[in-house]
Structure 1
Amino acid sequence: MKMNKFYLLVAVMVITAGAAKAQDSDLVFGVKAGVNYGTLPTSLKAITDKKGKVGYNFGVFARVGKSLYFQPELNYVSFKSSYVYAANTYTPKFNQLNLPLMVGYKLIDTEALNFRISAGPDVNYTLNEAKGPVGFDYKKLNFGGVINAGVDIGNISIDARYSRGLTKINKGLNEKTGLFNLSVGFKLF
């Protein structure tokens, strides 16, 4: 059932981009790759020595509109975190499909240079089994929000982003996700 919802969101993204292309000539498609720093913020006092780890991401994006735009993406994201719980160290690793659906505004909008800000919902589906304490399973489907700042120089896009989980990725450990991301993209057309 959860996987069906994910496929539905991907279909909405593709249909929206296709419909926008038919109505607007300002449609850009591109590819991107970058690094990220993942954390698992929690208020549970039994978790100590929390550390984020560096990971990577790559994906595709579309940008539809002029000064005000819609930017759906589909990304593969890999990150891990480390923490101590009940005198044991855990380092869960997450390989996720990530679907941010952002609305943005170009603060500076010229042919050669754009400065952009955007925000929107973020859907994550974990592809692997992240290892945690026995009895504390990590959820596959999670929802969050994302804020993004970017610059376009010609066909190159550079984005800095923070994604924050709004649902708990692990209810028992009271964990959500936090992900800082820096990526470079290339507009294909």
Structure 2
Amino acid sequence: MKTIKFYIAAALLFAAVKSTNAQSTDPEFGVKAGVSFPTLRGGVSGISNQSNKMGLNAGVFARVGGDFYFQPEVNFVSFKSTYTFQGAAYEAKFRQLNVPLMVGYKLLNAEDLSLRVSAGPDLSYNLNKPAAPAGTAYKKFTAGGVVNAGVDIGGVSFDARYSLGLTSANKELDQKTGLFSVAVGFKF
């Protein structure tokens, strides 16, 4: 079943890229940085006193297409979550490489102003090993979906997004991540 979902997602992504190439303008590239507000949701009974701490994000992006566009990104994301499990306190610090692959549409596309929305798959790879209770571990790789809203004013972009983890970050604790982020970027 996972294989079928993967092929469907790949086919949709391929179709989106092909449609943006059909109306392609010069690609835009940029850098961005901002803050992230995480949640570790779900979890087995026995998890208590959960607290999530704001983190940072920084990365690069490309935007290919016109009104319809494809926007891949590579971002470094850091955040932490503290919780108690079976009487012991844990501080899970996450350092991730995050790769959203979004397809978007510019609702407004004036010369120096654009308002856009986008969505797509979001892949995350843990660069470190966050602290976890004995017998459990946070996965190296997780997948999810992301929705984004942004505005471009000249060469500056402002984005707000929510990334919803669809696969479990820690199978034994049944935790999934959620990440609300805001960022400022510069296009060149």
For normalisation by structure 2, the TM-score amounts to 0.87
After superposition, residues 147-158 of structure 1 pair within 5 angstroms as 147-158=147-158
Match of 2:3 in 1: none
Distance 1:177 1:24 in 2: 34
Corresponding pairs, count: 174
Task: Report the CA distance between 1:23 and its aligned residue.
Answer: 8.0
Partner of 1:133, secondary structure, is coil
After superposition, residues 22-61 of structure 1 pair within 5 angstroms as 24-61=24-61
Q: Could you tell me which amino acid in structure 1 is paired with residue 182 of structure 2?
A: L
Normalized per residue, which structure has more strand? 2
The percent identity for this pair of structures is 56
Partner of 2:80, secondary structure, is strand
What CA RMSD, in Å, does the superposition of the two structures yield over aligned residues? Answer: 2.2
After superposition, residues 96-111 of structure 1 pair within 5 angstroms as 96-111=96-111
Unaligned runs of 5+ in 1: 1-8
Task: Report the CA distance between 1:26 and its aligned residue.
Answer: 3.2
Q: Would you identify which runs of 4 or more consecutive aligned residues in structure 1 move more than 6 Å? A: none
Match of 1:169 in 2: 169
Distance 1:149 1:82 in 2: 29
Match of 1:88 in 2: 88
Q: Could you tell me which amino acid in structure 1 is paired with residue 145 of structure 2?
A: G
Unaligned runs of 5+ in 2: 1-9
Q: Could you tell me which amino acid in structure 1 is paired with residue 79 of structure 2?
A: F
For normalisation by structure 1, the TM-score amounts to 0.86
Q: Is the 8 A contact 1:39 1:80 kept in 2?
A: no
Task: Report the CA distance between 1:49 and its aligned residue.
Answer: 1.7
1:3-31 alpha-carbon deviations (Å, 9 max, x no partner): xxxxxx9xx9xxx7xx95x9833310000
Match of 2:178 in 1: 178
Distance 1:45 1:107 in 2: 44
1:42-93 alpha-carbon deviations (Å, 9 max, x no partner): 1422111221111001110001111111100000111111111111221101
